[in-house]
Amino acid sequence: MLARRVPGGMTIPLKPASKPVAEILDVLIEGLTEPGQAKKVDNTGGAFMPVHVECVGRNEHGVVFSVAHYFEAQGDLVSDPEMELLHDKTGAWLPMSITMALGSKRSLVFGENCTVLVNEREYRSQLRFLSVWVRNIKQQQGV
């Protein structure tokens, strides 16, 4: 589990996504084991935006996935939102970044020698957003 370092050298584990959210994300990534693999989940016949899930890569902490909704604007696909999530080696889900139509924010940055920089305020914000968004996806897509 990733942790943040506090003064005095102590580390405190980052709070991962809740168990219900993790269970939904586990369903969404089923079958995606290698970087570059992707799928679209569309169980609504167009009533709601499909969910696009991609295995983006691996690092020393786990596997990185992208989960996104896309819309078309002037012929271009625009993600709104897209989240990068780390599925760590313990099975926990941690938000890394969020991209909306008007910009993006990163909560975790991986550095050299397995270091991780954490924007704690942004991390908590993304964790709250992820919880609401993934529960909506479950309800809308029936996953």
Residue 7 lies in a domain: no
Q: Please name the helix (run of DSSP H) or strand (run of DSSP E) that holds residue 98, with its range, or none.
A: strand 93-100
Q: Which residue has the higher pLDDT, 29 or 61?
A: 29
**Tens-digit pLDDT profile for residues 88-138:** 999 999 999 999 877 889 888 887 766 778 888 899 999 999 999 999 999
| Overall average pLDDT of the 21-46 stretch | 95
Asked if pLDDT for residue 37 goes beyond 80, the answer is yes
pLDDT range class, residue 5, cuts 50, 70, 90 = low
Residue 18 CB-density burial (10 A; 0-12 exposed, 13-18 middle, 19+ buried): middle
Residue 104: how many other CB atoms lie within 10 Å? 13
- Between CA 76 and CA 80 the distance in angstroms is 13
Residue 5 lies in a domain: no
pLDDT at 114: 66
pLDDT at 28: 96
Q: What is the DSSP string of 116-131?
A: EEE-HHHHHHHHHHHH
83, 68 in Cβ contact below 8 A?
A: yes
pLDDT at 6: 47
Q: To the nearest whole percent, how much of the chain has pLDDT over 90? A: 59
Range of the domain at 23: 16-141
Q: What domain count does the chain have?
A: 1
Q: Which residue has the higher pLDDT, 4 or 97?
A: 97
User: Shortest CA distance to 2 belongs to which of 20, 22, 16, 23?
Assistant: 16
> What's the one-letter identity of residue 96?
M
**Tens-digit pLDDT profile for residues 48-60:** 999 999 999 999 8
Q: What is the DSSP string of 24-81?
A: HHHHHTTT--STT-EEEE--STTSS--EEEEEEEEETTEEEEEEEEEEEETTEEEEEE
- Between CA 95 and CA 86 the distance in angstroms is 6
